[in-house]
Amino acid sequence: MKKVLVVSFSQSGQLTQIVDNFLIPFQGVDIDKVTIDPTTPFPFPWDTKSFYDVMPETVLEEPIAINAPRFKHSTYDLIVFGYQPWYLSPSMPATAILKNEAFCARLKGTPIVTILGARNMWLNAQESVKLLIKNAGGNLVANVPLIDKTFNLISVITIVHWLGTGKKTKKWGIFPFPGVSKQDINESHLFGEKVMASLQAGDYEKLQNNILTLNKININTSILFIESRAKKLFRIWAKTIKKKGVNAKKRAFWLMIFRNYLYFALFIVSPIILTVYTLVFRPLTFGRIKRKKEYFRSVKLN
Ligand SMILES: Cc1cc2nc3c(=O)[nH]c(=O)nc-3n(C[C@H](O)[C@H](O)[C@H](O)COP(=O)(O)O)c2cc1C
């Protein structure tokens, strides 16, 4: 019987639902489900202070303490790794397990499928995950990112409502539902079918291409543009906050500045820059954008 390790973490349960639906086709398989268990749990719903407080260490990928994961086996035929991005980086629990010795030992030489439940910015986080998997000697064979397909700025408003109340409901009854849509969650078994076929055949060569034929993984040009620049800025912010925030009061001050910057960048600067880019530069860089999208839709690591 094929052995599959499934490792994930979810605060709201969204990613758990995605992974559970993804696994529906995995009949007759020995599935070992492991939940990443931070020693100090993160709040859910999030209060504003805690939400911004995790930014520097998340971006700098500092591993938090987690309770020792218990695996049924020492080797697996396949590992399914479910995670979510936080601040354009793997979430803190995801980073912690990817730097965990026992998990890395199981990644080594094993085909790995990553599956994400994000708002809409997962490109940088996935680059980090690819690198950590590669460093552990794992073999990334597929990536299934699920996102909120609503307009970017609307999804900022709806996710703040969701993460701040813990309720995946329509803000004021008029905004769209936050997060990955029910339909996309329910249909994630379609990806599972492709992965299961590869598991049975023991051949992952064409798996990502097969997944792409479902035509469900698309990269928005504006998001690509934002992500190409924002992570560098986040790293500068993270280092500055850590350097200047030498005590709780100073850290809170710098986090407040970052918070204002983030809203200013999202709602004022990026719409202006994106309009200029779309009208003037985008037509000139069409070929480059296409190549970048192909790269991010693949499992390659540059
Ligand atoms: C602190 C924090 C930062 C986040 N940053 C991002 C991000 O950079 N990009 C993104 O697409 N989603 C981001 N999200 C949304 C998460 O990726 C995820 O979709 C949401 O938190 C639901 O995940 P859950 O399954 O753990 O409940 C963030 C969420 C949190 C809590």
Q: What is the CATH number of the domain that holds 84?
A: 3.40.50.360
Average pLDDT per block of 10 residues along the chain, 302 residues long: 98 98 98 98 98 98 98 98 98 98 98 98 98 98 98 96 98 98 98 98 98 97 94 98 98 98 94 89 86 97 94
Q: Are residues 202 and 285 in the same domain?
A: no
Q: Are residues 24 and 140 in the same domain?
A: yes
Work out which ligand 1 atom sits closest to the CA atom of 9: 26
Mutational test site, ligand 1, from 9, 15, 86, max ligand atoms within 8 Å of CB: 86
179 CA from centroid of ligand 1 (Å): 9
> DSSP assignment, residue 172?
G
Q: Give me the pLDDT at residue 286, please.
A: 87
Token pair in block for residue 64: 């938090």
Q: Are residues 41 and 134 in the same domain?
A: yes
Rounded to whole angstroms, the Cα distance separating 44 from 12 reads 8
Q: Are residues 139 and 237 in the same domain?
A: no
For the purposes of burial, counting CB atoms within 10 Å of the CB of 232, is it exposed (0-12), middle (13-18) or buried (19 or more)? exposed
Q: Are residues 127 and 84 in the same domain?
A: yes
CA neighbor of 88 nearest in space, from 216, 220, 235, 221:
235
Q: Are residues 259 and 193 in the same domain?
A: no
Query: Does some domain include residue 171?
Result: no
* Whether the Cβ atoms of residue 40 and residue 65 lie closer than 8 Å to each other: yes
50 CA from centroid of ligand 1 (Å): 14
Q: Give me the pLDDT at residue 236, please.
A: 98
Q: Are residues 210 and 244 in the same domain?
A: no
Please report which helix (H) or strand (E) contains residue 86, including its range: strand 85-86
Residues with CB under 6 A from ligand 1: 10-12, 14-15, 46, 51, 54, 84-88, 117-122, 163
Which of 162, 186, 217 is the endpoint of a domain? 217
CA torsion through residues 55, 60, 65, 67, sign = positive
Q: Are residues 84 and 196 in the same domain?
A: yes
Contacts of 264 (CB under 8 A, 6+ apart): none
Which of 217, 239, 267 is the endpoint of a domain? 217
Rounded to whole angstroms, the Cα distance separating 21 from 17 reads 6
How many domains, the chain?
2
Residue nearest to atom 30 of ligand 1 (CA): 86
Query: Does some domain include residue 154?
Result: no
Mutational test site, ligand 1, from 21, 35, 119, 167, max ligand atoms within 8 Å of CB: 119
One-letter amino acid for residue 196 of the chain: M
State pTM to two decimals. Answer: 0.97
- Name the residue range of residue 142's domain: 3-149+177-217
Question: Residues of 198-220 as b/e, b for ≥16 C-beta within 10 angstroms?
Answer: bbeeeebeebbebbbeeeebebb
Work out which ligand 1 atom sits closest to the CA atom of 42: 31
Q: Are residues 80 and 185 in the same domain?
A: yes
Q: Are residues 100 and 244 in the same domain?
A: no
Which of 217, 246, 267 is the endpoint of a domain? 217
